[in-house]
């Protein structure tokens, strides 16, 4: 098999993957929808305690939390098609390049999942309109919940520096948030490419362990006065302006973007070295 990318071959592989896993995709869609619906019903049960704006704000938090969880959970299952010897033989022998196979799985846990979330949100909005007669809702609840939530996601960019308001570029800040989430997603893609069985729990365990070690190191640095000296150096060498804040945001984008690309490359590298009989590292 050549290493050339063939779009037709890739699309056939993607269709095969979707067709073979349609039940899992359906259950995933129902799970996302249920995770959205249950909190919404709880808040609709007592609408007098919430304005429509507060209701949408609560639902926005739920949507972001649920979506983030499903994205990292699905990312960890990127190689679920390789979690047994029989599945590995079947998948590795498919008439496609390793890059096409990896890209197909990557699209499933990103683009296809995004479509599932979008469909679940549309079903949630429709459910709210259908269930409204069962609740004594104020007239303001006749508005579109999704439109209100979308409007809430746009905000005026300003940060507080030494009790002074410094404005920053909102597009850069939103891009930083997106790249940071993408980096978290790439960690679970990497974990899923390393561990085929129980990838979510193993990846989460490693992340928790690293955070605990990092927390101990950070506490020692604070005790040693390193952080205080760092912030003093920052205040002496950089002006407290919007340009400085935007520069720091841009540096964060480049840093987490580079880590994300590295994790994707390492995930693909691990996949290209997949074997039917897996060799364990340190017993895992």
Three-state secondary structure string covering 135-152:
CCCCHHHHCCHHHHHHHH
Over its length of 284 residues, how does the chain's per-residue pLDDT go in tens digits? 445 788 899 999 999 888 888 888 899 999 999 999 999 888 888 766 678 888 888 899 999 999 999 999 999 999 988 877 888 888 888 888 889 999 999 999 999 999 999 999 999 999 988 888 787 777 778 888 888 888 877 654 444 444 455 566 677 888 888 899 999 999 999 999 999 889 999 999 999 999 999 888 888 877 787 777 777 777 767 666 777 778 888 899 999 999 999 999 999 999 988 776 555 554 44
The whole-angstrom separation of Cα 242 and Cα 82 is 49
Q: What is the pLDDT of residue 86?
A: 84
CB 124 within 8 A of CB 40: yes
Q: What is the pLDDT of residue 256?
A: 94
How many residues are listed for the chain in this entry?
Answer: 284
Q: What is the pLDDT of residue 278?
A: 57
CB 168 within 8 A of CB 242: yes
User: How distant, in Å, are the alpha carbons of 45, 118, 147, 230 from that of 130?
Assistant: 14, 19, 17, 56
pTM assigned to the model:
0.82
The whole-angstrom separation of Cα 127 and Cα 44 is 12
Enter the tokens of residue 169: 């570029």
Q: What is the pLDDT of residue 232?
A: 76
Enter the tokens of residue 172: 């850069």
Report angle CA 224, 227, 229 to the nearest 5 degrees: 90
């Amino acid at each position: 098999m050549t290493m050339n990318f063939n779009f037709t071959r890739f699309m056939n592989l993607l269709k095969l993957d979707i067709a073979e896993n349609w039940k899992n995709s359906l259950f995933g869609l129902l799970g996302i929808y249920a995770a959205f619906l249950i909190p919404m019903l709880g808040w609709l049960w007592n609408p007098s305690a919430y304005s429509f704006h507060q209701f949408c704000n609560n639902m926005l938090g739920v949507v972001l939390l649920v979506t983030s969880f499903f994205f990292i959970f699905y990312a960890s299952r990127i190689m679920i098609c390789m979690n047994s010897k029989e599945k590995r033989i079947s998948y590795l022998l498919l008439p496609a390049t390793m890059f096409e196979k990896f890209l197909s799985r990557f699209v499933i846990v990103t683009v296809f999942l995004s479509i599932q979330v979008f469909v679940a949100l549309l079903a949630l909005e429709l459910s709210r309109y259908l269930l409204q007669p069962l609740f004594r809702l104020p007239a303001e609840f006749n508005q579109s919940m999704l439109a209100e939530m979308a409007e809430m996601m746009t905000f005026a960019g300003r940060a507080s520096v030494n009790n002074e308001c410094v404005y920053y570029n909102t597009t850069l800040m939103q891009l930083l948030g997106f790249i940071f989430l993408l980096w978290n997603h790439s960690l679970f893609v990497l974990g899923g490419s390393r561990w085929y069985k129980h990838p979510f729990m193993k990846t989460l365990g490693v992340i928790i362990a690293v955070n605990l070690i990092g927390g101990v190191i950070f506490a020692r640095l604070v005790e040693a006065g390193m952080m205080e000296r760092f912030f003093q150096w920052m205040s002496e060498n950089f002006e407290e302006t919007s340009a400085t804040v935007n520069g720091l945001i841009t540096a964060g984008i480049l840093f987490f973007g580079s880590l994300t690309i590295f994790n994707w490359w390492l995930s693909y590298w691990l996949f290209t070295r997949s074997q039917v009989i897996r060799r364990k590292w340190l017993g895992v």
